[in-house]
Amino acid sequence: MMRLKLVIKLGNDAMQTGSDLAKALRQVADTLECSDLVDPNDDLIGGVIKDLNGNTIGNWDIWD
Protein backbone atom coordinates (compact mmCIF):
# COMPACT_ATOMS: atom_id res chain seq x y z
CA MET A 1 0.00 0.00 0.00
CA MET A 2 1.36 3.41 -0.98
CA ARG A 3 1.35 6.30 1.50
CA LEU A 4 1.36 10.08 1.20
CA LYS A 5 2.97 12.39 3.74
CA LEU A 6 2.27 16.10 3.35
CA VAL A 7 3.66 18.86 5.60
CA ILE A 8 2.80 22.55 5.22
CA LYS A 9 4.02 25.25 7.61
CA LEU A 10 1.40 27.93 8.24
CA GLY A 11 1.76 31.49 9.47
CA ASN A 12 4.22 33.25 7.19
CA ASP A 13 3.12 36.33 5.21
CA ALA A 14 1.79 34.30 2.27
CA MET A 15 0.08 31.60 4.37
CA GLN A 16 -2.51 33.53 6.36
CA THR A 17 -5.85 32.41 4.95
CA GLY A 18 -7.72 29.30 3.96
CA SER A 19 -7.33 30.44 0.37
CA ASP A 20 -3.53 30.46 0.76
CA LEU A 21 -3.61 26.93 2.12
CA ALA A 22 -5.93 25.76 -0.66
CA LYS A 23 -3.50 27.11 -3.28
CA ALA A 24 -0.64 25.17 -1.68
CA LEU A 25 -2.72 21.99 -1.64
CA ARG A 26 -3.66 22.52 -5.30
CA GLN A 27 0.05 22.56 -6.20
CA VAL A 28 0.37 19.05 -4.87
CA ALA A 29 -2.98 17.92 -6.31
CA ASP A 30 -2.08 19.20 -9.78
CA THR A 31 1.23 17.33 -9.71
CA LEU A 32 -0.42 14.12 -8.53
CA GLU A 33 -3.17 14.38 -11.14
CA CYS A 34 -0.54 14.29 -13.89
CA SER A 35 1.15 11.20 -12.46
CA ASP A 36 0.46 7.50 -12.70
CA LEU A 37 1.10 6.35 -9.14
CA VAL A 38 0.62 2.70 -10.10
CA ASP A 39 3.58 2.68 -12.51
CA PRO A 40 6.64 1.29 -10.66
CA ASN A 41 8.89 3.10 -13.15
CA ASP A 42 7.41 6.48 -12.22
CA ASP A 43 10.04 8.66 -10.56
CA LEU A 44 7.45 10.72 -8.70
CA ILE A 45 8.34 10.35 -5.04
CA GLY A 46 7.75 13.82 -3.65
CA GLY A 47 8.45 17.47 -3.90
CA VAL A 48 8.56 20.83 -2.20
CA ILE A 49 5.61 23.17 -1.70
CA LYS A 50 6.11 26.89 -2.20
CA ASP A 51 3.99 29.89 -1.27
CA LEU A 52 3.09 32.70 -3.67
CA ASN A 53 6.31 34.51 -2.77
CA GLY A 54 8.41 31.50 -3.75
CA ASN A 55 9.31 30.52 -0.19
CA THR A 56 9.40 26.82 0.65
CA ILE A 57 6.57 26.14 3.10
CA GLY A 58 6.49 22.37 3.09
CA ASN A 59 7.02 19.10 1.30
CA TRP A 60 5.28 15.91 0.31
CA ASP A 61 6.43 12.35 -0.22
CA ILE A 62 4.92 9.15 -1.56
CA TRP A 63 6.36 5.83 -0.54
CA ASP A 64 5.44 2.19 -0.48
Task: Give this prediction's pTM.
Answer: 0.81
Helix (H) or strand (E) holding 48: strand 46-50
C-alpha 64/C-alpha 58 separation (Å) is 21
Number of domains in the chain: 1
pLDDT at 42: 63
User: Whole domain around residue 10: which residue ranges?
Assistant: 3-63
Would you say 8 and 21 are in contact if contact means Cβ atoms under 8 Å apart? yes
pLDDT tens-place string over residues 3-38: 899 999 999 999 999 999 999 999 999 988 887 766
* Cα 5 to Cα 1: distance, rounded to the nearest angstrom: 13
